[in-house]
Amino acid sequence: MNVKVIAFDADDTLWVNEPYFRASEEAFCTLLSEFLPRHELERELLKTEIGNLNLYGYGIKGFILSMIETAMVATNNMISAKTIGEIMDLGKAMLNQPIELLDGVEEVLAELKGKYRLVVATKGDLLDQERKLKKSNLNGYFHHVEVMSEKDDANYLKLIKHLDIRPSELLMIGNSLKSDVLPVLNIGGYAIHVPYHITWAHEEIEHSIDSGMFRSVERIKDVLAFL
Ligand SMILES: [Mg+2]
């Protein structure tokens, strides 16, 4: 490997994220439990979220709007303003969550800083991702932070162009095979998958990946063995 830049995904790679979505989803289902059973609400919410991605993008704000929309459908427009307020409060509580770094993250960044250019490559809401990075106190490790609307081939190509490197000089580390691994391999970069114990259904892929430029490790500290 002749890697110059190591890009890290943020949510569920550097810090805890998905569990907050799951907890809010659970609270949302409890709020509406008199109208629909949990599994139906969850299914409706996921469908609404995915349907809204093109309009709202990823992140908590879009999630709040999708919860409200799902509640309107689930209650046949009978949802009370009070319940809408409670749903909005669930979202605001998520936005105000403290940052909980994942095990080994600081150690890995400290070890790699100076040897490689380190960047963050994340998707989601710009303001929220910037706020989380600030709260994480990890800013000093990174040379550049890229917040993409979608983690696809085109946006990774834009990133390597911005960093002025060849695709094979990029290594991406992240928890999503769909967003952090596949597009990076597609453009000719290296990728290491560090799975997180829960993954949003939309990020799951069916097939396995077979590439000499791909590795999967159990925890983030294991990436040091390759670097
Ligand atoms: Mg992630």
CATH number at residue 69: 1.10.150.240
Question: Which of these three, 95, 113, 148, is where a domain ends?
Answer: 95
Distance 141 CA to ligand 1 centre (A): 18
pTM above 0.75, yes or no: yes
For residues 1 and 152, what is the distance between their CA atoms, to the nearest angstrom? 23
Surrounding residues of ion ligand 1, Cβ less than 5 A: 9, 11-12, 175-176
Q: What percentage of the chain reaches a pLDDT higher than 70?
A: 100
Question: Greater confidence, 39 or 197?
Answer: 39
Pair (12, 113) in one structural domain: yes
Q: In the numeric block, which tokens belong to residue 174?
A: 């992240």
pLDDT given for residue 203 in this prediction: 81
Q: Give 12 Cα–ligand 1 centroid separation in angstroms.
A: 5
Same-domain pairing of 110 and 167: yes
CA 116 to centroid of ligand 1, rounded, Å: 21
Q: Are strands 5-8 and 170-174 parallel, antiparallel or unpaired?
A: parallel
What is the whole-number distance in angstroms between the Cα of residue 110 and the centre of ligand 1?
A: 20
State the distance from the centre of ligand 1 to the C-alpha of 72, rounded, in angstroms. 29
Residues 184 and 151 in one domain: yes
Residue 82 sits in the same domain as residue 179: no
106 and 164 housed in the same domain: yes
Q: Are residues 74 and 138 in the same domain?
A: no
Position 77 confidence tier, pLDDT thresholds 50, 70, 90: very high
Same domain (yes/no): 91, 103: no
Domain co-membership, 126 together with 203: yes
Question: What is the 39 CA–ligand 1 centroid distance (Å)?
Answer: 24
- Average pLDDT for residues 136-149, to the nearest whole number? 96
- Ligand 1 centroid–CA 183 distance in Å is 14
CA of 189 to the centre of ligand 1 (A): 18
pLDDT in tens, 170-210: 999 999 999 999 999 999 999 999 999 888 878 888 778 99
What's the gap in Å between 222 CA and the centre of ligand 1? 17
Q: How far is the CA of 84 from the centre of ligand 1 (A)?
A: 28
Using an 8 Å Cβ cutoff, are 114 and 140 in contact? Answer: no
Strands, E assignment, the chain = 5-8, 117-123, 144-148, 170-174, 190-193, 214-216
What spacing in Å lies between the alpha carbon of 10 and ligand 1's midpoint?
6
Question: Which domain, by its residues, includes 58?
Answer: 18-95
- Helices of type H across 9-104: 18-31, 38-56, 60-74, 81-95
161 CB contacts (<8 Å, ≥6 apart)? none
To the nearest 5 percent, what fractions of the chain are helix, strand and coil?
50, 15, 35
Is residue 131 domain-shared with residue 72, that is, in the same domain?
no
Tell me what the pLDDT averaged over the chain comes to. 96
Band of pLDDT at residue 1, cut at 50, 70 and 90? confident
* Dist. CA 150 → ligand 1 center (Å): 12
CA of 26 to the centre of ligand 1 (A): 20
- Total tally of structural domains belonging to the chain: 2
Residues 128 and 222 in one domain: yes
Is 11 in the same domain as 112? yes
In degrees, to the nearest 5, what angle opens at C-alpha 138 toward C-alphas 157 and 109?
70
Q: What is the CATH number of the domain that holds 196?
A: 3.40.50.1000
Instruction: Find the 198 Cα to ligand 1 centroid distance in Å.
Output: 10
Domain boundary among 76, 95, 114: 95
What is residue 199's predicted lDDT score, i.e. its pLDDT? 82
Of 95, 128, 162, at which residue does a domain stop?
95
Average pLDDT over residues 66-93: 97
What is the model's pLDDT at position 207? Answer: 79
User: Which residues lie closer than 8 Å to 199 by C-beta, 6 or more apart?
Assistant: 12, 18, 175, 176
CA of 79 to the centre of ligand 1 (A): 33
Q: Could you tell me if 106 and 150 lie in one domain?
A: yes
